[in-house]
Structure 1
């Protein structure tokens, strides 16, 4: 008689929700690690929690989504949409930002956050989403965006400098809803 096998362990359910003030400590810590150790952002100095709170409030005040992912009750990452450019003609275009906690990389957190961001921005009537990927070596971010339909529209060579090297910046774009096929409402 065959030995029964135990069912495969399923990871805790993923929960996505709007960020709240009590999330800012975890958001600040994750972003500080990115600033300090990586090139997804070209910022040099780690912003403190007060600055990150100000940034969160500014995004939310403009009506854009700012999301948090939790798995098993633990903070797993965050994502938000923000103004791509401040000129009036860009008001239907947003830039996305997605960060995943290192303990949760490769578990679909980034994909879930970005998909929800796309859905929320589409529901708001926005028409284009732009990803500004810090450096061509950030292949995980590029692959994530490609999986959700973004296409590379340009690479700015040597646009930024961090950690003693010049960095290229990848620009990717996704049409939301009808994109540029009709006038906005």
Structure 2
């Protein structure tokens, strides 16, 4: 189309335009997870397994595996939380689990936070992290570690740093997923 043929798009007069609708409020509640939440936790997590490098799992986790993990974390009295919408849809989850199996590590955990794709960018990760750290401290945990992939999870690194996590190390080329080598960033936070 020639420039002289281009007509600017006409707009309706202001009084005839439909009113601008406010952005809907993103509402959620954070509560302790239950065994009944595990199918939803599995679906959220398996989305990341299939589509991202934020987890080094390459195979989808089964419901049985999630139930076992949930029971183990619960037996250790460690927090496992879900964020739910007003209609009880699970929007995301967060939990901590032992860093290592040796007894001397019993007050050191690794955190995990995953959000459903439609729940990202709305402050839910921050809310889950705040509650997870508070509950971890109440459970007697002293050190929280985050092991985050070095490429493709910059938002997760920023989230952790905003809560006072400090980078304490990096491991290069320790994971191989989607035909490429990946490293990890190790961050740590002391709970006072």
Q: Which residue of 2 aligns with 1:22?
A: 36
Deviation by residue 1:20-65 (Cα, 9 ceiling, x = unmatched) = 1211111111111111111111111111111111111111111100
Q: Distance in 2 between matches of 1:71 and 1:146?
A: 27
Q: What RMSD over aligned residues (CA atoms) do the two structures have, in Å?
A: 1.7
Residue 136 of structure 1 contacts residue 170 of structure 1 at CA under 8 Å; is this kept in 2? no
Q: Which residue of 2 aligns with 1:36?
A: 50
Q: Which residue of 2 aligns with 1:76?
A: 91
Cα offset, 1:10, TM superposition:
5.2
1:138 equivalenced with 2:153 (yes/no): yes
Cα offset, 1:137, TM superposition:
2.7
Q: Distance in 2 between matches of 1:37 and 1:86?
A: 30
Deviation by residue 1:107-156 (Cα, 9 ceiling, x = unmatched) = 11111111111000111221110001123331010011011111111110
1:158 equivalenced with 2:173 (yes/no): yes
Residue 39 of structure 1 contacts residue 135 of structure 1 at CA under 8 Å; is this kept in 2? no
Number of residues paired by the alignment?
A: 174
Q: Which stretch shifts more, 34-43 or 132-141?
A: 132-141
Would you identify which runs of 4 or more consecutive aligned residues in structure 1 move more than 3 Å?
Answer: 5-10
Q: Distance in 1 between matches of 2:126 and 2:44?
A: 18
Residue 95 of structure 1 contacts residue 130 of structure 1 at CA under 8 Å; is this kept in 2? yes
Residue 26 of structure 2 contacts residue 122 of structure 2 at CA under 8 Å; is this kept in 1? no
1:54 equivalenced with 2:68 (yes/no): yes
Q: Distance in 2 between matches of 1:123 and 1:50?
A: 29
Q: For structure 1, list consecutive stretches of 5 or more residues without a partner in the other structure.
A: 178-185
Residue 53 of structure 2 contacts residue 177 of structure 2 at CA under 8 Å; is this kept in 1? yes
Give 1 or 2 for the bigger CA radius of gyration: 2
Q: Distance in 1 between matches of 2:159 and 2:27?
A: 20
Give the TM-score normalised by structure 1: 0.88
Q: Distance in 1 between matches of 2:48 and 2:29?
A: 23
Q: Which residue of 2 aligns with 1:124?
A: 139
